[in-house]
Structure 1
Amino acid sequence: MAFAVVALLLVATASVPFRYYTLPKIVALAYDIEGKNIAYSWGGGHADRPGPSKGTCAGYKGRIRPCPATKTRGLDCSGFVRWVYALAHRHDVLGPGTTDDHVRKMFRVKDPTPGDLVFFGSITKKKIKTHHVGIYLGGGKMMNAPETGAVVRIDSIDRVKDFAGFYRY
């Protein structure tokens, strides 16, 4: 009897697509990282390997002057989701690109599940111009690296303008 139950569980879990299995892991990893008070750094998280790194001042438009990114070890929004997704998938599935590059590797979902990504900007069939990304937590909340002077934190999705949609890897 016990063997039959184990066999049934193995068949049932083997039929669940890998990406759905990783979504709860993504949320757990995001909460773990949020507890570490990692600073926002423009361009942070985009070194050869995912994870906190010093940022860059190229393209920086933040309100804190002079730009602190080259002296700050941390993550920007896309560096944060890149690191979480790399940890959850056990390899760098999103790569070192921008939010525009990351959204191109995903597909849009109408009914988001915690662990999906939420993008902001403009996404059409012909043009992608995004400016922010976070990890959807449910209940209208996301985990994100929001801006210079902040740390990875939980925010309401409506805190950021130009909601573009939910996406799944």
Structure 2
Amino acid sequence: MKRPPAVAVALLVLAATASAPLGLPLPPPTVRIAYELEQRGIVYSWGGGHAASPGPSKGTCVGYQGSIKPCPAARTTGLDCSGFVRWVYALARGEDVLGPGNTDDQVRRLRKVSAARPGDLVFFGKITKRKIRTHHVGLYLGDGKMMNAPETGAVVRVDDIAHKKDFAGFYRY
């Protein structure tokens, strides 16, 4: 039996959506992109992600204090924590809104929020009205989790926010 094309398309759409839960919001583009990037197994590289354009790049050994010696960053293409969120936001927004700076530079471009939503950034360090000294950033996923490029020797991954010291707050673009 031959079906008209419109009926076949309607049946295909119905089959594809019949098991989808109704009323659940889609995650924001930043969260969807972060999960896509996590699947690539991108390695951490101190200073990685801070080339002229967002995305994996060779890192630098300037300021490196990691546990792996000698510093592998200058020969490793990857991302550090601020390079990771820079790339996610650039892909989601279509432009480099966070820029090539470090976590201190990024937090200055954002506003602090008391109630986090998936896609917000979570910073660690000390942030006061007079001084900003951050040392880590991740992308908030919800339920106390963040996607981040955590440290030398690791890949982009999901971590519990509570396991990281010096929580400084949630920030939104």
Indicate the TM-score class for this superposition, using the shorter chain for normalisation. 0.7 to 0.9
1:124 aligns with one of 115, 125, 128:
128
1:122-144 Cα shifts (integer Å, max 9, x gaps) = 00000000000000000000000
The alpha-carbon deviation at position 25 of structure 1 amounts to 0.2
Alignment partners' CA distance in 1, 2:52 and 2:36: 22
1:101 is aligned, of 99, 102, 105, to 105
**Could you tell me which amino acid in structure 2 is paired with residue 104 of structure 1?**
R
1:115 and 1:68 map into 2 onto residues whose CA distance is: 30
Output the CA distance in 2 between the equivalents of 1:44 and 1:167: 22
Deviation digits for residues 104-134 of structure 1 (CA, Å, limit 9, x no counterpart)? 0000011100000000000000000000000
Q: Paired residue for 1:49?
A: 53
> 2:119, 2:98 → 1: CA distance?
14
Q: Specify the structure having the higher radius of gyration (Cα).
A: 2
Per-residue deviation, 1:51:
0.0
Letter of the 2:62 counterpart: A
1:151: Cα distance to partner? 0.2
Gapped regions of structure 1 (runs ≥ 5): 1-22
1:39 paired with 2:43, answer: yes
**Corresponding residue to 1:82 among 74, 81, 86:** 86
| Structure number having the greater helix percentage | 1
Q: Which residue, 62, 66, 73 being the options, matches 2:70? A: 66
Query: CA–CA distance in 1 between the matches of 2:46 and 2:122?
Result: 19
> What is the CA distance between 1:160 and its match in structure 2?
1.2
Task: Report how far residue 158 of structure 1 moved.
Answer: 1.4
Shift of 1:159: 1.8
Any gaps of 5 or more consecutive residues in structure 2?
1-26
- Partner of residue 150 from structure 1, selected from 147, 154, 158: 154
Once the two structures are superposed, residues 65-102 of structure 1 have per-residue CA deviations (whole angstroms, 9 ceiling, x without a partner) of 00000110000000000000000110000000000000
Match of 1:15?
none
Runs of 4+ in 1 over 2 A off after TM superposition: none
SS in 2 for 1:154: strand
> Offset of 1:150 from its aligned partner?
0.1
- What SS does the aligned partner of 1:132 have? strand
Question: What RMSD, in angstroms, separates the aligned Cα atoms of the two structures?
Answer: 0.7
SS at match of 1:27: helix
SS in 1 for 2:84: helix
Residue by residue over 1:48-72, the C-alpha shift from the partner in whole angstroms, topping out at 9 and shown as x without a partner, is 0000000000000000000000110
